[in-house]
């Protein structure tokens, strides 16, 4: 199976792993980062999350070639704290989030993530969930669609596209949706600005609640990091990166309420320090080898 892990070297080196580290891969995918992590922790243990059962099954076999020191957890990473606590893990030494879609998810047409292949509208990372892209496209109100396309897709013609979708319902497949988007904006705008990318992103974020779960899980994970422990987060669009950047900023600075006090209460002190103040981007070599890495950004923090 062809899959490239973006910023693999930089993100794993940033974790500063020891041979006995307890590590969490919150976004297992098809095992690219996890495999390298396992090689670095022969006396440690890896706990890896994914809501996609296909990814879990594939990675179990892949990781077994390296070591048996891993536990795979079939769950959305929003449940990270709860699921780890259930098995007696309250703290860990490092954690990585790779928030992009795995290449196999994009390339497998039947999953309905791609606007380049025809498939039933789906986009569920967890196939057991009820809400799908088909439900969003065909049953959401005009106002809800406008909001989703504008907020999650940052598409300036959201209103025109949403109106056209409502007029053309039912829409059952990915390429039907692409055609509706094209007709809504006109060929010139479509070819110049590629609104289908933004609309598909917006629908996928809505289906999988991606931004809401990110806002919850990053603070949870920081609070579970041991002192000196590291977190690497790879984002792929500005909405994700803004959330991560803000959380990191807020948790790495003294709370505004108590700035200037001669003695700062412990709960208001910074919990983390930024390892890279400037975001890390893919190298030219990586961009050449994997065009899907072009929007990736890596941020790394350390627990104080």
Same domain as 193, residue 168: yes
pLDDT exceeds cutoff 60 at 161: yes
* Range with the poorest average pLDDT among 21-25, 34-38, 257-261: 257-261
pLDDT exceeds cutoff 80 at 230: yes
Same domain as 251, residue 204: no
pLDDT exceeds cutoff 90 at 25: yes
Q: Stretch 122-140: mean pLDDT, rounded?
A: 93
Token representation of residue 176:
């039907």
Q: How many domains does the chain have?
A: 2
| CA 301 to mean position of chain CA atoms | 17
Same domain as 140, residue 81: no
Last residue of a domain, one of 156, 174, 208: 208
Same domain as 182, residue 235: no
Q: What is the mean pLDDT of the chain?
A: 93
What local confidence, expressed as pLDDT, does residue 256 receive? Answer: 79
SS3 225: strand
What local confidence, expressed as pLDDT, does residue 114 receive? Answer: 84
Token representation of residue 48:
């890896």
In the structure, what pLDDT confidence band is assigned to residue 128 with cuts at 50, 70 and 90?
A: confident
Same domain as 84, residue 40: yes
In the structure, what pLDDT confidence band is assigned to residue 262 with cuts at 50, 70 and 90?
A: confident
Residue 59 contacts residue 104 (beta carbons within 8 Å): no
CATH number of the domain within which 162 lies: 1.10.150.170
SS3 298: strand
What local confidence, expressed as pLDDT, does residue 290 receive? Answer: 83
User: How far is residue 109 from each of residues 103, 116, 210, measured CA to CA in Å?
Assistant: 11, 9, 21
109: in domain: no
265: in domain: yes
pLDDT exceeds cutoff 60 at 103: no
User: What is the helix (H) or strand (E) element at residue 191, kind and residue range?
Assistant: helix 187-193
Same domain as 253, residue 195: no
270: in domain: yes
Same domain as 237, residue 161: no
Same domain as 161, residue 14: no
Q: Angle CA(46)–CA(51)–CA(57) in degrees, nearest 5? A: 65
Same domain as 16, residue 97: yes
pLDDT exceeds cutoff 60 at 260: yes
Same domain as 220, residue 204: no
Last residue of a domain, one of 190, 208, 226: 208
**Pick the residue with more confidence: 116 or 44?**
44
Token representation of residue 104:
């196999």
Q: What is the pLDDT of residues 173-223, one digit of tens each?
A: 999 999 999 999 999 999 999 999 999 999 999 999 999 999 999 999 999
In the structure, what pLDDT confidence band is assigned to residue 107 with cuts at 50, 70 and 90?
A: low
Q: What is the pLDDT of residues 241-252, one digit of tens each?
A: 999 999 999 999
267: in domain: yes
Same domain as 194, residue 219: no
42 — alpha (psi -120 to 50), left (phi > 0) or beta?
alpha
What local confidence, expressed as pLDDT, does residue 209 receive? Answer: 94
In the structure, what pLDDT confidence band is assigned to residue 268 with cuts at 50, 70 and 90?
A: confident
Same domain as 204, residue 120: yes
pLDDT exceeds cutoff 70 at 104: no
31 — alpha (psi -120 to 50), left (phi > 0) or beta?
left
pLDDT exceeds cutoff 90 at 132: yes
CATH number of the domain within which 277 lies: 3.40.50.150
62: in domain: yes
Last residue of a domain, one of 208, 232, 266: 208
Q: Could you tell me the residue range of the domain that residue 145 belongs to? A: 114-208
| CA 17 to mean position of chain CA atoms | 22
DSSP codes joined into one string, 58-120: HHHHHHHTT-S-EEEEES-GGGHHHHHHHTT---EEEEEEE-SPPHHHHH-GGG---SSS--B
E-only strand ranges, 122-202: none
1: in domain: no
296: in domain: yes
Question: Tokens 């959380």, residue?
Answer: 247
3: in domain: no
């Amino acid at each position: 199976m062809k899959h490239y892990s973006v910023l693999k070297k930089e993100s794993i080196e940033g974790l500063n792993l020891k041979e006995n580290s307890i590590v969490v891969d919150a976004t297992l995918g098809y095992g690219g980062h996890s495999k390298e992590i396992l090689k670095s922790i022969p006396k440690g243990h890896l706990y890896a999350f994914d809501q996609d059962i296909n990814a879990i099954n594939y990675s179990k076999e892949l990781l077994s070639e390296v070591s048996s020191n891993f536990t795979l957890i079939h769950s959305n990473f929003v449940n990270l704290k709860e699921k780890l606590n259930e098995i007696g893990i309250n703290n860990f030494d490092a954690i990585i989030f790779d928030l992009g879609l795995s290449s196999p998810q994009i390339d497998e047409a039947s999953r309905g993530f791609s606007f380049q292949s025809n498939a039933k509208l789906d986009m569920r990372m967890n196939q057991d969930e009820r809400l799908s892209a088909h439900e969003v496209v065909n049953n959401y109100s005009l106002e809800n669609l406008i909001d989703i396309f504008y907020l999650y897709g940052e598409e300036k013609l959201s209103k025109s596209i949403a109106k056209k979708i409502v007029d053309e319902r039912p829409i059952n497949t990915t390429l039907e949706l692409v055609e509706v988007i094209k007709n809504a904006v006109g060929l010139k705008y479509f070819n110049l600005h590629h609104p289908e990318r933004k609309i598909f992103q917006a629908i996928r974020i809505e289906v999988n609640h991606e931004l809401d779960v990110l806002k919850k899980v990053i603070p949870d994970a920081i609070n579970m990091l041991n002192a000196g422990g590291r977190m690497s987060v790879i984002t792929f669009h500005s909405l994700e990166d803004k959330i991560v950047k803000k959380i990191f900023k807020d948790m790495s600075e003294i709370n505004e309420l108590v700035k200037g006090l001669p003695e700062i209460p412990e709960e208001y002190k910074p919990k983390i320090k930024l390892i890279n103040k400037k975001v890390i981007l893919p190298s030219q070599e990586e961009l050449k080898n994997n065009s899907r890495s072009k929007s990736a950004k890596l941020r790394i923090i350390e627990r104080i």
